[in-house]
Amino acid sequence: MRKSVTVFLSLLTILALGTAVLADPPRGVPHRYAPNSLDGRLAQIDRVEGDRTLAAWAYRNGAEYDIAISRVDENGRWTEPVFIGLDDGRDQTQPALALDADGNAYLAYADQAEQRVLVAVLRADRDEWSFSLAVTAPGAEAQSPALRVVGNRLVVAFRTGEELQMIDLPLTQTNDQPSLLTIVDGPE
């Protein structure tokens, strides 16, 4: 009798600990990201002042790769990812992320079929990513994008063959040039 009570209490303790873990998962990695699988490397960015954390990776989806993007919600949990290129028969890989001072998020990634780099934007006041803007020509052999916000500009760096190249995109409207936010989201 005493042994069965001990076993019962042990099982209850294990169940309670398991439920606590399921109720509040660690911030470690987003849902659906499998680091030891065919998924690509995790690109993650944190913004302390706005408490905004995003992660993106090349998600193996059957016979193709799509970009998966997740964020940490107000409860400190990873959201279910949204996908760019879902089931389009193309491989989108090598994501890079950046945040500006206003909380707008920028994503660059490589389209393997057209060998070019594209950029999408998640404005701080919206819940959906913009359509993707190609910043290199098809067939440019562009890959390995990197992003950096410098002042009021987004610098997109990437590799073409053996060369490194950069494109400088304005984030604010000037007299002669629209901003990246206007281009990808349309006029405000």
CA dihedral 27, 28, 30, 35 (to 10 degrees): 180
CA 104 to chain centre: 13
> In a structure prediction context, what are the per-residue pLDDT tens digits for the chain, which is 188 residues long?
555 544 443 444 444 444 334 444 446 778 788 777 888 888 888 775 556 789 999 999 889 999 999 998 888 889 999 999 998 999 999 999 999 988 899 999 999 999 999 999 999 888 899 999 999 999 999 999 999 999 999 999 999 988 999 999 988 877 666 777 776 666 44
Tokens representing residue 99 in the block:
């945040």
Contacts of 34 (CB under 8 A, 6+ apart): none
Of the candidates 101, 95, 91, the one whose C-alpha atom is nearest the C-alpha of residue 81 is 95
Instruction: Classify burial at 66, counting beta carbons within 10 Å of its beta carbon; exposed 0-12, middle 13-18, buried 19 or more.
Output: buried
Backbone angles phi, psi at 20, to 5 degrees: -65, -40
With the C-alpha atoms ordered 150, 154, 155, 159, is the resulting torsion angle positive or negative? positive
The answer to whether 164 and 155 are in contact (CB under 8 A) is no
The answer to whether 160 and 144 are in contact (CB under 8 A) is no
Angle at 65 between CA 99 and CA 25, to 5 degrees: 60
